[in-house]
Amino acid sequence: MKPWAKSAFFIALNIATFYSLKWYYDTRQVLLVSALLPSVVKVAPIGPIFRYVPYLTAEGIEFKRQRAGFGVMGHGSGVYLSKDGLIVTCAHVVEGTPLVEIDPKERLAPKGYRNSSKVLGYVVGRDIKHDVALVRLIYPLKGIEAVKIASSVRKGLPVLTIGFPGPFHKYVTAGVISGMRGTDLYSDVSIAPGNSGGGVFDINGRLVGLARAMTGPLNIPISQGFSVLTSLKAIREIVSKYEGF
CA distances from 166 to 79, 132, 193 (A): 18, 20, 6
Domain stop point among 102, 137, 172: 137
Mean pLDDT of 230-236: 90
Domain stop point among 80, 105, 137: 137
Using one digit for the tens of pLDDT, what is the confidence trace for 168-227?
889 999 999 998 887 788 998 989 889 999 999 999 999 999 999 887 655 555 445 678
Per-residue confidence (pLDDT) for residue 130, from 0 to 100 = 92
- Among the residues of 167-230, which ranges form H helices? none
Residue 18 lies in a domain: no
Per-residue confidence (pLDDT) for residue 118, from 0 to 100 = 78
Q: Which helix (H) or strand (E) holds 236?
A: helix 232-242
Residue 107 lies in a domain: yes
Per-residue confidence (pLDDT) for residue 225, from 0 to 100 = 60
Closest CA to 78 of 64, 93, 68: 93
Please, which pLDDT band fits residue 147 given cuts at 50, 70 and 90?
A: very high
Closest CA to 81 of 36, 116, 115, 118: 36
Per-residue confidence (pLDDT) for residue 111, from 0 to 100 = 47
| Residues 113 and 184 placed together within one structural domain of the fold | no
| Residues 46 and 133 placed together within one structural domain of the fold | yes
Beta strands in the chain, from DSSP E residues, in sequence order: 40-57, 60-72, 76-82, 86-89, 99-103, 119-127, 132-137, 158-163, 171-181, 184-187, 199-201, 207-215, 226-230
Q: Is residue 219 packed enough to be buried (19+ CB in 10 Å), middle (13-18) or exposed (0-12)?
A: exposed
How many C-beta atoms lie closer than 10 Å to residue 145's C-beta? Answer: 12
Name the DSSP class of 131: T
With beta carbons less than 8 A apart as the criterion, state whether 211 and 77 touch: yes
Per-residue confidence (pLDDT) for residue 162, from 0 to 100 = 94
- Rounded Cα distance between 61 and 49, Å, is 22
Per-residue confidence (pLDDT) for residue 79, from 0 to 100 = 95
In this prediction the pTM is 0.78
Residue 16 lies in a domain: no
With beta carbons less than 8 A apart as the criterion, state whether 186 and 179 touch: yes
* Average pLDDT across the chain, whole number: 81
Q: Looking at the DSSP assignment, which residues form a beta bridge with residue 62?
A: 55
Whole-angstrom Cα Rg for the chain = 22
Using one digit for the tens of pLDDT, what is the confidence trace for 83-124?
888 999 999 999 988 999 988 764 444 444 444 567 889 999
Per-residue confidence (pLDDT) for residue 49, from 0 to 100 = 74
- Rounded Cα distance between 54 and 119, Å, is 36
- Among the residues of 75-230, which ranges form H helices? none
- 38 pLDDT more than 80: yes
Q: Which residues of 11-43 are buried (b: 16+ CB within 10 A; e: fewer)?
A: eeeeeeeeeeeeeeeeeeeeebbeebebbbbbb
| Residues 216 and 162 placed together within one structural domain of the fold | yes
| Residues 66 and 116 placed together within one structural domain of the fold | yes
Q: What CATH number is associated with residue 206? A: 2.40.10.10
| Residues 56 and 99 placed together within one structural domain of the fold | yes
| Residues 133 and 164 placed together within one structural domain of the fold | no
Count of structural domains, the chain: 2
Q: Look up the domain containing 120 and give its range.
A: 38-137
